[in-house]
């Protein structure tokens, strides 16, 4: 219990807030630095839950974030450096990274080589693999939540929706998770119990987005999301996804399966094979992080670009970027 | 942050003997009694709120830990109990409405005091006072426990141990051992021993009460990382 001896105000004095860099539904994010070392940090100030009747205690998402990040330490997961409280606010001190994958994808001055995409995919999957190994679901994988540091390292951030899984008693998990464009089909159909496969679907969408440079399945509503998905990947049949017919009473237009090659013209066969297995309709057949990391794609040439040599933005313009619709917070932290 | 351990925090003899409440001249017997009462409220409130047992257990461990870093003089067992339960429910992914929790506590306390129960006014000052106290207590718990909300519990371990010992079908032992675990939350053993030891201890006790012999060659508890001295 090392923290017990350390007073909160001493921790608070260790960091200096510099400027506001973003605001989400439950937090304000400041850029700051550690006074002693000059190390840049992000300070996420969590607002107490507000309702008509006044304060409502600490947000569940804040608890989830603290709980998951305390458990996870990995080069591809954002580091929780410190926590302190100020009056009634909770402040999380996080590693500062000045860019994210969404900004990089949108920056049309940057050209992606296939080795760059491989490198980003590798880092994403390694971070996610570490979460899943520790029985934690991220539940909000999207380019906006994949932060990229000056050294090119990619780190998973925003664990406000993360939770433990694998508990057979955990019924009634919320389906309103994951930003719609990256939401797995079983969630759209209202599955109350689900697992690692929901995160893998999102990674598949991110993979596609890296190649296309635009979001792969940008649905405006949940129904449109399904329609886009079926148009792109074919309407699932009972054979693709055993039990599909029992999921819903809805009748969908039957779209044929078009080979991914038609859209991803420049991609190699190993790339398409990996993408197809990540976007498998049946959550039980969708790849696990381990299987994905062992896929020949990562062993075949070209070799993934070393993080330090990945293309990066000329200058960061954190605030002016429009952000994709978000399930939890607009801020990347 | 990197030094954070997910294991349950254990206390030294000094910390156990000289609690903050003791320093404020609260007698040992009174403190023990208040700890038991606070835990009793948490357990009863949890049952009324239909929370899973892990939430009540987590809350009680947080409650016990809290009074090793803060005094009962400064924080009432009602507020800390409510705060701990509210927090633990969130930690265990079964959040409850703040109003429900306050109503349940209000009822429990009036029952305990043997007064006639009168529901609180919906927007009354009493309700707001309790709510305020609860929110402050929740933050205080987090703050004073270094934001460590991880509590390892022995329930799952115990069930697995019973399976290995082939005792799951016994008519009494599993229920008895489970009950001992619930009861043990009212003591300080969660800050004295790690979950495997606690799980072994309740099995040992349950088997003894039922007169069931467990293997001693080699001793069964060695399999589960426990020392005989600790179990007893």
Distance CA B190, CA B145 (A): 15
| Three-class SS state of A162 | coil
CA distance A56 to chain B (A): 7
What radius of gyration, in Å, describes the C-alpha atoms of chain A? 20
pLDDT the model gives residue A171: 61
Q: How far is CA A60 from CA B90, B91, B96, in A?
A: 6, 8, 11
Going from the N-terminus, what domains does chain A have, and what CATH number goes with each?
A: 15-96 (3.30.200.20), 99-309 (1.10.510.10)
Greatest mean pLDDT among A20-34, A78-92, A99-113 lies in A99-113
User: Between chains, do B135 and A71 touch, taking CB under 8 Å as contact?
Assistant: no
Confidence band of A319 (pLDDT split at 50, 70, 90): very low
Q: Which residues of A touch B128 (CB under 8 A)?
A: 54
- Write the DSSP assignment of B23-44 as a string of letters: HTT--HHHHHHHHHHHHHHHHH
Is A26 annotated to bind a ligand? Reply is: yes
- Please say whether the beta carbons of B19 and B69 come within 8 A: no
Question: Any known ligand binding at A24?
Answer: yes
Residue A63 buriedness (CB in 10 A; 0-12 / 13-18 / 19+): buried
Q: How far is A319 from chain B (nearest CA, A)?
A: 29
Is residue A206 very low, low, confident or very high in pLDDT (cuts 50, 70, 90)? very high
CB contact under 8 A, A58 and B98: no
Q: Which residue has the higher pLDDT, B232 or A163?
A: A163
Mutation site, A9, A11, A57, A66, interface B, largest B CB count within 10 A: A57
CA distances, A6 to each of A9, A51, A272, B143, B196 (Å)? 9, 33, 53, 10, 30
CA dist A95 and A158 (Å) reads 12
Contact yes or no for A181/A225 (Cβ under 8 A)? yes
Tens-digit pLDDT profile for residues A127-165: 999 999 988 899 889 998 999 988 999 999 888 888 877
> Rounded to the nearest 5°, which phi and psi values hold at B230?
-70, -40
Q: What would the pLDDT profile of B127-140 be if each residue is shown by its tens digit?
A: 888 988 898 888 88
Contact A163 B69 (CB under 8 A): no
* pLDDT tens by residue, B5-35: 567 777 777 777 788 888 888 888 899 899 9
Continuous segment of H or E residues that includes residue B125? helix B125-144
Say whether the ipTM exceeds 0.85: no
pLDDT in tens, B139-192: 888 888 888 888 888 888 888 888 888 888 888 888 988 998 888 888 888 888
Q: Enumerate the residues of chain B whose CB falls inside 8 A of the CB of residue A58.
A: 87, 90, 138-139, 142
Is A118 labelled a binding residue?
no
The distance of Cα A132 from the centroid of its chain, to the nearest Å, equals 13
The verdict on a CB contact (< 8 Å) between A169 and B9 is: no
More confident residue, A249 or B47: B47
What's the CA gap between B158 and A131, in Å, rounded?
26
Instruction: Spot the catalytic one: A98, A100, A129, A140.
Output: A140
pTM score above 0.90: no
Q: What is the pLDDT of residue A333?
A: 55
Q: What is the pLDDT of residue B74?
A: 87
Helix (H, G, I), strand (E, B) or coil at A232: helix
Is residue A140 part of the annotated active site? The answer reads: yes
> Residues B83-137: pLDDT tens digits?
999 999 988 888 888 889 999 999 999 899 888 888 888 888 888 889 888 988 8
Is the bond into B218 cis (omega within 30 degrees of 0)?
yes
How many CB atoms within 10 Å of residue B11? Answer: 18
């Amino acid at each position: 219990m090392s923290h017990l001896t350390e007073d909160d105000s001493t921790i608070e004095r260790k960091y200096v807030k510099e400027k506001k860099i973003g605001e989400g539904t439950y937090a304000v994010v400041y850029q700051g630095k550690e006074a002693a070392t000059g190390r840049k940090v992000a300070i996420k100030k969590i607002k107490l839950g507000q309702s008509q009747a006044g304060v409502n205690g600490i947000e569940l998402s804040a608890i989830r974030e603290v709980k998951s990040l305390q458990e996870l330490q990995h080069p591809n997961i954002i580091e929780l450096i410190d926590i302190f409280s100020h009056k009634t606010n909770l402040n999380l001190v996080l590693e500062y990274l000045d860019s994210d994958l969404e900004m990089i994808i949108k920056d049309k001055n940057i050209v992606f080589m296939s080795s760059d995409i491989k490198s980003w995919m590798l880092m994403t999957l390694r971070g996610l693999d570490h979460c899943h190994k520790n029985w934690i679901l991220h539940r909000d994988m999207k380019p906006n939540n994949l932060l990229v540091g000056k050294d090119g390292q990619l780190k998973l951030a925003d664990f406000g929706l993360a939770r433990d899984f694998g508990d057979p008693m955990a019924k009634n998990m919320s389906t309103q998770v994951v930003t719609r464009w990256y939401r797995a089909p079983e969630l759209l159909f209202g599955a109350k119990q689900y697992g690692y496969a929901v995160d893998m679907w999102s990674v598949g969408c991110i993979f596609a987005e890296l190649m296309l440079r635009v979001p792969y399945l940008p649905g405006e509503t949940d129904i449109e999301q399904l329609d886009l998905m079926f148009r792109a990947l074919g309407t699932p049949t009972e054979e693709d996804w055993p039990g599909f017919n029992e999921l819903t009473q809805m009748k969908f237009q039957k779209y044929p399966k078009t080979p991914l090659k038609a859209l991803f013209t420049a991609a190699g066969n190993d790339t398409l094979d990996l993408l197809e297995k990540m976007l498998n309709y049946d959550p039980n057949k969708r790849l696990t992080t381990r299987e994905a990391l062992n896929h020949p794609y990562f062993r075949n040439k070209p070799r993934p670009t070393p993080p330090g040599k990945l293309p990066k933005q000329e200058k960061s313009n954190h605030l002016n970027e429009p952000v994709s619709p978000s399930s939890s917070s607009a801020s990347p932290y | 942050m990197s030094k954070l351990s997910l294991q349950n925090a254990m206390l030294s003899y000094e910390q156990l003997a000289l609690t903050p409440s003791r320093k404020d001249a609260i007698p040992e017997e009174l403190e023990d009694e208040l700890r038991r009462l606070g835990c009793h409220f948490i357990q009863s409130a949890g049952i009324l709120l239909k929370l899973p047992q892990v939430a009540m257990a987590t809350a009680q461990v947080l409650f016990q830990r809290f009074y090793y870093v803060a005094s009962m003089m400064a924080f009432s067992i009602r507020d800390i109990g409510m705060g701990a339960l509210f927090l633990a429910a969130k930690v265990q992914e079964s959040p409850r409405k703040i109003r429900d929790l306050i109503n349940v506590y209000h009822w429990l306390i009036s029952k305990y005091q043997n007064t006639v129960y009168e529901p609180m006014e919906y927007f009354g000052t009493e309700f707001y006072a309790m709510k305020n106290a609860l929110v402050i207590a929740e933050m205080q718990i987090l703050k004073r426990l270094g934001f460590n909300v991880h509590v390892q519990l022995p329930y799952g371990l115990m069930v697995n141990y019973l399976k290995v010992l082939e005792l799951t079908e016994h008519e009494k032992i599993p229920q008895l051992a489970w009950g001992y675990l619930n009861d043990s939350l009212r003591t300080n053993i969660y800050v004295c021993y790690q979950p495997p030891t606690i799980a072994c201890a309740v099995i040992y006790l349950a088997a003894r009460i039922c007169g069931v012999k467990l293997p001693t060659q080699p001793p069964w508890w060695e399999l589960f990382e426990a020392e005989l001295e600790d179990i007893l």
